[in-house]
Structure 1
Amino acid sequence: MTAPLRLLLVDEDPVFRLGLRIWLEQTGEFAIAAEASTSTETLDQLAALRGNSTGETAVADGPPVPPETEAAPLTNPTVDLVVLDLGLGQGNPEQIPGLRLCEAIKFTYPSLPVLVLSASDEPVLRAAAEQMGADDFGIRGLPVQDLARLLKRAVNGSEPVEITPPSPSPPPPNPLVRLRRGLRQDALRQIEAAIAETLAERQRGRTTLWNDAVLAGRYRELRAARWLVNRLLATPNLEQAATASASPPPPAIPPDSSQPSLPSRPEAAITTTDRVSLQRGDVQSLVFEAVFRRLQGSLANNSEIPLEIDILRDDRRRELFYLILRQLEDALGELRQAQVLPGQLGDRTPEVLRDVWEAVTTDFFGRYYTVTTVPDMPGPELPVVKVLLQEEAVVRTQLLEPIPLIPQLIGHLLYRDPLPVDGSLYIATTPEALSRSRELLEHLLIQLANGVMLPVLNRFGDVEQIKKNLYSRRLMSTRDIERFRNDLSWRYRWDRLVNNPKAVFESQYRLFGFTERGIQPYFIYAPRREELDQLSGIQLSVTLAIEARDAIAPRLRSAIAFVGSGVVYVLTELVGRGIGLVGRGILKGIGSAWNDAGFKQDRK
């Protein structure tokens, strides 16, 4: 069995790197040796990898030296290929552009292959990359199978990559087709703008139930209108020609699975088909891919329960979830390499969660990130990560320890252990087990994200630097922040005294998961008899009150219903009839008096 090709990924987009890493590593033919998001970091990684291979100590020396004054070429680092983004440094003028970085890498390590990926397939870009020494050139949106073959060709230099020959250009459309296409494009632009406005209005904050229902209805109507426009104003000949020319060659894989395409921009979702062959991947890949797909949707909290992550901006919230997902993947890989036995997972789970929390906190804020507590005033700068890690006991007690079924989840992902679902054990590859595993992983992600933000609210809740970099606009003022913290405090008190004992008594766990509308809570069944026996004090009183209500309420309702039916009988049968008789007598008397008066007038 050949060793996997070791890659160095250089891209500013963490979403693209994460998706590329997940898909390439699951094939078993590639391994990600290192990742970098800047030119300086890339050169440091190459120097460090070379130092590890030769026994030297590498020191970063900043930007690359021009070729005219640089020293002799060095030996290659322990990496087989550098995958470089052509658009590196476009948003930062101080950073070395992607082409210059490619030139520096090829001059320093002439025999190290470099594959340049670009968002577009312009011939001038391909020629520029080849002029700078790139060994191959590709598109960021290539299907994963084609990209894997392109990586092998860049390393070996001999394997041809089959590329679909360009089909002849379709004939120019007639005026009617152009008119329909123009109308469709204009209508779709207006509909997409209205959809974006509706989604933005729903994500601005918590709205009333009525407004939420109206916005949801408007969103459905806009989607239906978009579908109708695409059908009524479609141009079949032009659409089929464009599809035929742009479609990639069919992948040589079994018919029960299909290859996704990598996103060409941060906003693009990495999608997979729902039916994936279990022979080509494992349970962990399936569950992580399902959660990763759900992270592409709305991440707003649409429940009435406040969460620590509510204070984050949408982009920072998404970035935090990506970091947690990646750290969990690394932690599972370390457990697999350590050959931890399934029976040891219960004891190792708290340590694993703590390590993941510390790693995510460090990566999210930066190990050396410092802030001053008083803005515009000279004073000592506090190391943020060091201060946040001091809250480990609080985070562990309030958030990490209450996360349910984590040993079972890890055993399911690592060893394909059966997973309990509604009191029954299901084989690891069944849809029920995979769905429950995804639900538990989503809840774990959300609680770890809350654990990252909880120390921030406790220690740096009103620090301007933190607010500017992380907080949402609707929670920027001191009053809003304090109200948000008070809501969280009351929520934890109410959960500890009422909600958690009630959930234990009802044999349920409350989980948070990702839906189309955002984060929503729901309950799953699980036996909790041992926890029920350990309740005491107010928590035990809550369960006794619920039990008393369950015992008394049906009988009390029956008694009230019986008394009510008796009252109704008395009022309708006795009192009502009596009132009816009295009224009838009154009406009869009025009629008699009227007749007597008429008779007297007739006699006169």
Structure 2
Amino acid sequence: MNRNLSFVKLIYKENSKGLIKKLLIAGRQRELNKARLFLIWLFDSLGFSDSPVKFNNVSSYLYLPSINLDLNDNTCQKAWYRIRKRLETVFMNDIMNDTGYLLAIDALNYERRRDLLLALLSQLDIVIKQLYRDKIHGEKINYFWYQLQPELRRTVLEKMAGADVEISKNGELKSVAGVLIKNCKWEDDRELPPPQAILGPLAQGQPILIEGYLLSLDDHRAALQIEALVSNWLIRTAELIGAEVLSECSQWPELRCYLLRRDLMVTRNLERLRNQLNTQEWWNLYFDRPIRLYESKRLVWRIQRTSVIPYYITEARDKELEDLPWWQQLITFVLETRDAIAPQLQLLFQRIGNIIVIILTQIVGKAIGLIVRGILQGMGRSFTRDQD
């Protein structure tokens, strides 16, 4: 299946022209990704593997991108500088979506997507420097961060859309940034970790707990973990803004030429994409997220080379699990029941299989043997009489 996925990706890159072919190839890629995830979930849950899959072990960091931190460079400021520079380089060259999910930022054209991600990175840099300068610690970091979010997103929207750009709307020139800021309904992504997990190590040099070890940012594993969390915040926040931009473009056709890809200027294509994103978000929120909470996993979007890929971090999420409404907790109850019943079902099927083997070999087999022997003996007697 992995070979098929690689082959499909290669075909997708080679077929740069032809919308129908690209849509068919993209659909096939989504089918393979979903089938792969389903098989991993199915076989792991039934206990066919000897050991559970580890999502956050040391060997997994071999697949993470290298940022070449000097082991003697033990200051959080220098570590953040190198992470920021690497991400800036990636965003300037654009990023590819290898998550297996639809992303709203894919709908933006290259310039707007680049400006959005770079603006978010710049604002995060300002926040980290302010936290370091003002010596903000502990829970005050979370409070400071949440208070800053509305202003941060407004600033990012102005940089992405252009503070002075005006486009006609209903025959009247309107400020793009002003309309977006006014109409956007800011929501939080529930899959984002607490801000202290990112800002504490980067702004105050707090150690990071990885596989039972407290590591500082001069350790490559800690630096790579922080880079993954930073990338996750950038992509998920850009997704929130991108979804609001798509919603506004749906009601402001002239805005599509400025912000979106060329194929999304067509109303049908845009509405289809919005419906697909809404369905995906609904399924993720009400079904996939409870399963991840129960399995103590956090889905992180991290950047590997120039691609956005999924990455799972194992951490305790019991408090979030308890806060779920009762009908979402039913999903976790079904999983718990399945885990409890699966060994008994395996044992039952094994016993039934053994019984069937015994019946076929000891009873049916012997009966057939006796019948065949009787037939052969009867044929032998008939042959003897014919000779006489």
Given the two structures, how large is their TM-score scaled by the length of structure 2?
0.76
CA contact (8 A) 1:497 1:538 kept: no
Offset, 1:489: 1.1
- Spell out, residue by residue over 1:57-86, the C-alpha distance to the aligned partner (whole angstroms, 9 max, x if none): xxxxxxxxxxxxxxxxxxxxxxxxxxxxxx
| Equivalent of residue 427 in structure 1, options 216, 227, 233 | 216
Offset, 1:481: 1.6
CA contact (8 A) 2:290 2:328 kept: yes
| Equivalent of residue 324 in structure 1, options 109, 120, 123 | 120
Structure 2 counterpart of 1:363? 159
The change in CA–CA distance for 1:589 and 1:199 in structure 2 (over 3 A counts) is same
Q: How does 1:430-445 map to 2 (within 5 A)?
A: 430-445=219-234
Amino acid at match of 1:465: E
Offset, 1:304: 2.5
The change in CA–CA distance for 1:570 and 1:277 in structure 2 (over 3 A counts) is same
Q: How does 1:59-98 map to 2 (within 5 A)?
A: none
Structure 2 counterpart of 1:287? 83
Structure 1 counterpart of 2:341? 552
CA contact (8 A) 2:90 2:306 kept: no
Q: How does 1:18-57 map to 2 (within 5 A)?
A: none
Q: How does 1:93-492 map to 2 (within 5 A)?
A: 199=13, 201=15, 206=26, 208-209=28-29, 273=68, 275=70, 277-278=72-73, 282-295=78-91, 299-373=95-169, 379-390=171-182, 392=184, 394-397=185-188, 399=189, 402-422=191-211, 424-461=213-250, 463-492=252-281
Q: Distance in 1 between matches of 2:306 and 2:378?
A: 70
Structure 2 counterpart of 1:55? none
The change in CA–CA distance for 1:309 and 1:499 in structure 2 (over 3 A counts) is same
Q: Say whether 1:498 aligns with 2:287.
A: yes
Amino acid at match of 2:261: S
CA contact (8 A) 2:253 2:265 kept: no
Offset, 1:382: 3.9
Q: Distance in 1 between matches of 2:117 and 2:314?
A: 26
Of structures 1 and 2, the one scoring higher in RCO (CA 8 A, sep 6+) is: 2
Secondary structure, counterpart of 2:96 in structure 1: coil
Larger Cα Rg: Structure 1 or Structure 2? 1
Q: Distance in 2 between matches of 1:390 and 1:554?
A: 56
CA contact (8 A) 1:509 1:524 kept: yes
Amino acid at match of 2:247: N
Q: Distance in 2 between matches of 1:316 and 1:331?
A: 23
The change in CA–CA distance for 1:587 and 1:209 in structure 2 (over 3 A counts) is farther
- Spell out, residue by residue over 1:411-469, the C-alpha distance to the aligned partner (whole angstroms, 9 max, x if none): 11111111232454322322221111000000011012112211111222364433223
- Spell out, residue by residue over 1:195-223, the C-alpha distance to the aligned partner (whole angstroms, 9 max, x if none): x998454896626359999xxxxxxxxxx
Q: Distance in 1 between matches of 2:187 and 2:323?
A: 20
Given the two structures, how large is their TM-score scaled by the length of structure 1?
0.51
Q: Distance in 2 between matches of 1:336 and 1:200?
A: 47
- For structure 1, the residue ranges without an aligned partner over 5 or more in a row are 1-195, 214-270
Structure 2 counterpart of 1:508? 297
Query: Structure 1 or 2: larger helix share?
Result: 2
Offset, 1:404: 0.8
Q: Distance in 1 between matches of 2:296 and 2:374?
A: 65
Q: Distance in 2 between matches of 1:209 and 1:584?
A: 59
Identity %: 23
Q: Distance in 2 between matches of 1:507 and 1:211?
A: 26
Amino acid at match of 2:356: V
Q: Distance in 1 between matches of 2:356 and 2:278?
A: 48
Amino acid at match of 1:482: E
Structure 2 counterpart of 1:52? none
The change in CA–CA distance for 1:589 and 1:288 in structure 2 (over 3 A counts) is farther
Offset, 1:523: 1.0
Amino acid at match of 2:308: I
Offset, 1:276: 7.0
